[in-house]
Amino acid sequence: MALPSDRLDRFARHIVLPEIGGAGQAALAKAAVALIGLGGIGSPALQYLAGAGVGTLVLVDDDAVDLSNLQRQTIYRAGETGRSKTELAEIWVREFDPSLNVKRVSRRVTRENAGETVAGVDLVLDGCDNFATRLAVSDACVAARIPLLSAAVGRFQGQVGAFAGHLPDQPCYRCYVGDAFDADDCDTCADDGMLGAMAGWAGTFAALQAIRVLLAPTGGLGDPQWGKLHLLDGLKPGMRTLGIVKDPGCKACAGR
């Protein structure tokens, strides 16, 4: 698929990279990514995925903008408090690049609707703020055979992991955290605080890993890094990587 000349110009700095090139840019234009949560991680992730020309963006959030969000949620502005995050995010994308397709899902993700929410996308990037949603999203991804990038941040720490539990020998997010958090939705950042730039680091790193996954079929940036959990430490600063293994007793992905 050849890209039109204005798209070649827009993505010239990508296309000149041998790891992306015209074929990789065309693959990004064909890709669909669901962003779960348009907060501190979802905002910068959205900006860089839209910047990368990811053709279809499914924007999932049930929240409205609060004044305290502006310290890290980079797509919102003073004067927009109280308005729907998905509505504002859609406006942001349309003004930034009208060629991209946007689908809004303005509801809270639950076990009941998670499958419908992620249906049809190539990748889910979960930057939500609670374990119950993360596990519901992860289970839906395993069932639909969709890869999942899970990103979280608090205080000066972040983590970004790539999961493909639908594949043999690859773990899912539930293999990592277990079943204890299914009903836990109280781990929001309001209690502990968060350096805004940490959310930016985790969100942009998640966008980088998303592009790695989307380009993996054409070689791209190499290994999609399934089961690798990157821990970001903003105080040190530094980064280290853990390997997660498939749990043979996992109720979501065992036997796959």
Question: Which residues are known catalytic residues?
Answer: 189
Q: For residues 67-106, which are near Zn ion according to CB under 5 A?
A: none
Shortest approach of Zn ion to residue 8 CB, angstroms? Answer: 41
Indicate if the alpha-carbon torsion angle 189, 195, 200, 205 is positive or negative. Answer: negative
Helix/strand/coil percent split, the chain, to 5: 40, 20, 45
Min CB(143)–Zn ion separation in Å: 11
Q: Which of 26, 146, 229, 253 binds Zn ion (CB under 5 A)?
A: 253
**From CA 47, how far away is CA 204, in angstroms rounded?**
9
Minimum separation from the CB atom of position 247 to Zn ion (A): 5
For Zn ion, the binding residues in 221-250 under the rule CB under 5 A are: 250
Which lies closer to Zn ion via its Cβ, residue 207 or residue 253? 253
- CB nearer to Zn ion: give 215 or 253: 253
Give the residue, chosen from 149, 175, 207, 232, that forms a contact with Zn ion under the rule CB under 5 A: 175
| DSSP per residue, 152-164 | EEEBTEEEEEEE-
User: Taking CB under 5 A as the rule, does residue 165 contact Zn ion?
Assistant: yes
Give the Cβ contact number of residue 237 at 10 Å: 10
Q: What burial class does residue 67 get, using C-beta atoms within 10 Å of its C-beta: 0-12 exposed, 13-18 middle, 19+ buried?
A: exposed
Amino acid identity for residue 184 in this structure: D
Q: State the pairing for strand pair 148-154/123-126.
A: parallel
Determine the size of the site formed for Zn ion (CB under 5 A). Answer: 7
| Assigned token pair, 94 | 């349309």
Smallest gap, in angstroms, from Cβ of residue 175 to Zn ion?
3
Establish if 33 lies at the interface with Zn ion (CB under 5 A). no
CA distance 66 to 84: 10
| Residue 59 vs 175, nearer CB to Zn ion | 175
Report which DSSP code applies to 50.
Answer: H
Confirm or reject binding of residue 174 to Zn ion (CB under 5 A).
yes
Nearer to Zn ion by C-beta: 128 or 172?
172
Q: Which residue is nearest to Zn ion (CB)?
A: 250
Q: Is 147 in the site for Zn ion (CB under 5 A)?
A: no
* Interaction site with Zn ion (CB under 5 A): 165, 172, 174-175, 250, 252-253
